[in-house]
Structure 1
Amino acid sequence: MANFKSTDMRFLDSVFGMSGGYVLDFSNRTMSNFFSEELEIDIDHEMFSAEGTSKARRIRCLLQSADTPTVCRVLEALWRHRQTIREETKAEETISNAEGRFLSLLESIRAPGLASEVVQNPFAAAPVVDHGQVCDALKKRLYELRDQSPQKRGYEFESFLKDLFDSSRLQARTPFSLVGEQINGSFQLGNETYLVEAKWVKDPRGVAELHTFHGKVDQKAAWARGLFISYRGSTQEGLQAFGRGRKVVCMSGEDIDKALGRRIAIAEVIERKVRAAAATGATHAPLDDLFKA
């Protein structure tokens, strides 16, 4: 494990812009993708959230707990990303002798001969999994829910949604509060917090449930949004009566089933629904309209 002095951590905070919980230009999602693709590390794993879930706190936790080869790989990858940003934006260096001090820090924590050592997937507890396999398993679970009793199905649907959101590293928060078959929860997508209400009942939902949920979202912070999930969808009359330009987007069980079948990340589905709502004002856009062949 690398031994950082307090002055070292202050320097890294400055170099990588880790004040206020931020890190460089990363959003939660792009940082997750960066660590997954560049380093084969699941930075969203709970092991890195011991001191908090902000981007900066997760990286500090990794740097202070991982083996030295991994720490060096992470720092070098972050430095390359920082330099790429500066080259693309033509930004001037604002930290005195930043590169020299960074290289000296690497040298001080790196043991002799470690520079050429390659460590593959150093966190056995946080492997990068095959997305196709995850989608297939979730699709099977969704299909099996149809045969459950209403009460059991509600609890199983709660667990399913948590795993569905986690498959896109959306930082779903539990426990969901269950009232009948209504599940409330939240997740993080980009810089937005989404409140979730989900219903699995036999008929499509009407305008009353949409207005009720929108009222809950409207009472929260200005940046909060809502995802209303109705397994049977919503009636056309209800969607029309609900109106346009709302802070809520809708998703049906059919949307989820088709996304899993086509192995489309649920985060991408939500992002396209939000873009469609921004462009047209429509609360619901079917998956087939969002992902046309």
Structure 2
Amino acid sequence: MNHFFESEKILLRESFTITGENNEGVIQQIDGAIEVSNHHYLVEMKWCKEALGPGDVAQHMMRIFLRSDARGIFISESGYTDAAIIDIKKALSQKLIILFTLKELVLLLEGDDSFESLLKSKVEAVQLDGRLLYAL
């Protein structure tokens, strides 16, 4: 994914961990962060055989909620369950969370569109219509 974002000329912070200040060890592991149109997005990539459920998305949603101006991106190889979609839609009243599938990114690489353009259309769909757009 890092090469993908770099090829799209998107500012990227690669995978990083946050450790406790009192030797608690690793508190959070974040797959990456990007900056698009002056907005920071925490990125979570999941390579699961089954569609992501509520438990699979909860931890990343918490990371997003713990940062005042952060937005979130999920990228799933296998899609999302209806229950996960319901939880994410509930969170949209407080945080912007955008869903992608790996298939969408592959199609993006094969086409002429840019990630920034696709992200913008997904952000508009969420903010204006309350719709989470993603390809199955």
Rg (Cα) greater in structure: 1
Is 1:211 matched up with 2:58?
yes
Q: How high is the TM-score relative to the length of structure 1? A: 0.39
Q: CA RMSD in A?
A: 2.1
- Partner of 1:266 in structure 2? 115
The CA deviation at 1:253 is: 0.9
Mapped to 2, the partners of 1:264 and 1:200 lie a distance apart of 24
Higher strand share: 2
| Aligned-partner SS, 1:250 | strand
**In structure 2, what is the Cα distance between the partners aligned to 1:286 and 1:226?**
14
Residue of 78, 81, 104 corresponding to 1:232: 78
The question of 1:192 aligning with 2:39 is answered yes
CA contact (8 A) 2:46 2:76 kept: yes
Q: Which has the higher contact order (CA 8 A, sep 6+)?
A: 2
Task: State the Cα deviation string for residues 240-286 of structure 1 (Å, max 9, x = none).
Answer: 2432424211110111122122232112111111111101223x302
After TM superposition, the runs of 4+ consecutive aligned structure 1 residues lying more than 3 A away are none
Q: Residue 285 in 1 paired to residue 133 in 2?
A: yes
Q: Which has the higher helix share?
A: 1
Report the CA distance between 1:193 and its aligned residue.
Answer: 0.7
Sort the Cα spacing of 1:241 and 1:186 in 2 relative to 1 into closer, same or farther, 3 A: closer
* Cα offset, 1:229, TM superposition: 0.9
1:103-128 residue CA offsets vs partner (Å, 9 max, x unmatched): xxxxxxxxxxxxxxxxxxxxxxxxxx
1:189 Cα deviation from its structure 2 partner: 0.3
For residues 66-85 of structure 1, what are the alpha-carbon distances to aligned partners after superposition, in whole Å with 9 as ceiling and x for unaligned?
Answer: xxxxxxxxxxxxxxxxxxxx
- Given the alignment of the two structures, is residue 249 of structure 1 paired with residue 98 of structure 2, yes or no? yes
Q: Give me the whole-angstrom Cα distance separating, in 2, the residues matched to 1:216 and 1:241.
A: 15
Q: Distance in 2 between matches of 1:189 and 1:223?
A: 13
* 1:210 CA displacement: 2.1
Secondary structure of the structure 2 residue equivalent to 1:172: strand
Between the aligned partners of 2:69 and 2:128, the Cα distance in structure 1 is 18
1-structure distance, mates of 2:58, 2:8: 28
Matches within 5 A, 1:1-293: 161-174=1-14, 176-177=15-16, 184-220=31-67, 222-244=68-90, 245=92, 246-282=95-131, 284-286=132-134
Percent identity, aligned pairs only? 23
Tell me by how many angstroms 1:167 deviates: 1.8
The amino acid across from 2:120 in the alignment is E
Q: How many residues align?
A: 122
Secondary structure of the equivalent of 2:11? coil
Give the direction of change, closer, same or farther, for the CA distance of 1:270–1:211 in structure 2 (3 Å limit).
same
